[in-house]
């Protein structure tokens, strides 16, 4: 049976790779690597987003009880990342495969040139049959530079590489329609692109060893599926979970994808560092949000501009009530845009090919 996906991003969470005592679960790592190798042997490109560096660090060094939390995490990540990659390398070597370390920060996704450089690196690794092993650079990622967790990072990587699917492996079978600890609770097997009813079943509880939880997983899954990428949430502790998700025999939650978005729009979906804010009137808002119609932002619909920007800069669009509508790349600078405020017959300020709307209301 042919695989349904050619390019796959697999995210393995801390609770899958970590034993109850907080140390790495090397036996489970071996099982998951064997599954990844099996998928590669069937022609699937796999990008691995792996937690576990901090846990690996704990197995190598003991910190004093009152050590600073941020510095301790940096230290454990710096020491543990070496061991984590060494473990992966040792598990891949018997299969004649190489793994490559890719450490990133949120800033790498905000800057368009950084983003393209990183994408080119991934493409070359895949072309050379190397498995990229991705993790947040916890040594320098603190406060505003941090991803919510590796689920967010995995979603960004899947979007950047135009993956066919993202599989998020946690320590639960998927999203339940009630409290998983109560009798009768069932896994929601499929979630349609515009279905948000599952949100009522999600709690904000964080995982034991990771920073995130099911709330962030679902948020990222829904966003990534909206960009045209299938997303599965399954239990990484279940034997043969990866091949069984792909052959549809494993219990998991599948976020069905919407229509594919362009590469630029996928970057815009995650970019956050807008140079300026552009306010638009009700007519422009209605035109941009009209269903099944691609519309550019024209100067006639712009009422005011906060900040300065140049051609190609990222700008944020808001309506008259101050509600965020989306992001776009400016076709020209703020000076020209201000000269053309409210004027008919002018070039679009943001062409629809470079516009990403974040609201459906």
- Which of 180, 178, 158, 179 has the alpha carbon at shortest distance from 168? 158
d(CA 176, CA 187): 4
Cβ proximity of 327 and 274 under 8 Å: yes
Residues making up the binding site for substrate: 51, 138, 150
Please state the residue numbers annotated as binding site. Answer: 11, 51, 138, 150
- Residue tagged 């510095």 (tokens): 71
Tell me if 144 sits within 8 A of 110, measured CB to CB.
no
Q: Which helix (H) or strand (E) holds 129?
A: none
Contact assessment for residue 198 and residue 188, using Cβ atoms and an 8 Å cutoff:
yes
| Cα 130 from Cα 127, distance rounded (Å) | 8
Tokens encoding 287: 């035109």
As a whole number of angstroms, the distance between CA 57 and CA 71 comes to 13
Separation CA 230–CA 221 (nearest Å): 8
Annotated binding-site members for ATP: 11
Length of the chain: 361
């Amino acid at each position: 049976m042919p695989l349904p996906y050619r390019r796959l991003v697999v995210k393995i969470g801390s609770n899958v790779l970590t034993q109850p005592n907080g140390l790495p679960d090397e036996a489970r790592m071996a099982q998951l690597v064997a599954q990844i190798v099996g998928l590669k042997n069937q022609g699937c490109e796999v990008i691995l987003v792996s937690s576990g560096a901090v846990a690996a660090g704990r197995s190598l060094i003991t910190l004093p009880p009152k050590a600073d939390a941020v510095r301790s995490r940096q230290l454990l990540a710096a020491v543990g990342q070496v061991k984590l990659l060494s473990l992966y390398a040792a598990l891949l070597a018997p299969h004649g495969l190489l793994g490559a370390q890719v450490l990133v920060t949120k800033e790498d996704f905000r800057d368009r040139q950084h983003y393209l450089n990183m994408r080119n690196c991934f493409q070359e690794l895949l072309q050379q049959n190397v498995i990229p092993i991705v993790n947040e650079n916890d040594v320098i990622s603190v406060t505003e530079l941090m991803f919510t967790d590796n689920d967010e990072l995995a979603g960004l990587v899947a979007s950047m590489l135009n993956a066919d699917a993202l599989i998020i492996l946690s320590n639960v079978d998927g999203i339940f329609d009630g409290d998983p600890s109560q009798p009768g609770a069932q896994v929601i097997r499929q979630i349609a692109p515009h279905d948000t009813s599952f949100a009522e079943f999600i709690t904000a509880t964080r995982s034991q060893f990771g920073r995130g939880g099911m709330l962030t997983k679902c948020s990222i899954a829904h966003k990534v599926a909206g960009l045209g990428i299938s997303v599965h949430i399954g239990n990484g502790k279940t034997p043969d979970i990866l091949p069984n998700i792909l052959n549809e025999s494993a219990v998991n939650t599948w976020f069905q994808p919407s229509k594919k978005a362009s590469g630029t729009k996928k970057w815009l979906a995650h970019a956050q560092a807008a140079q300026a804010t552009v306010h638009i009137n009700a007519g422009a808002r209605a035109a941009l949000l009209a269903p099944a119609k691609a519309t550019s932002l024209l100067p006639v619909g712009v009422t005011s501009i906060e900040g300065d920007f140049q051609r190609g800069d990222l700008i944020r669009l808001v309506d008259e009530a101050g509600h965020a509508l989306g992001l776009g790349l400016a076709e020209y600078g703020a000076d020209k845009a201000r000269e053309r405020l409210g004027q008919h017959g002018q070039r679009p300020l943001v062409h629809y090919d470079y516009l990403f709307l974040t609201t459906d209301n």
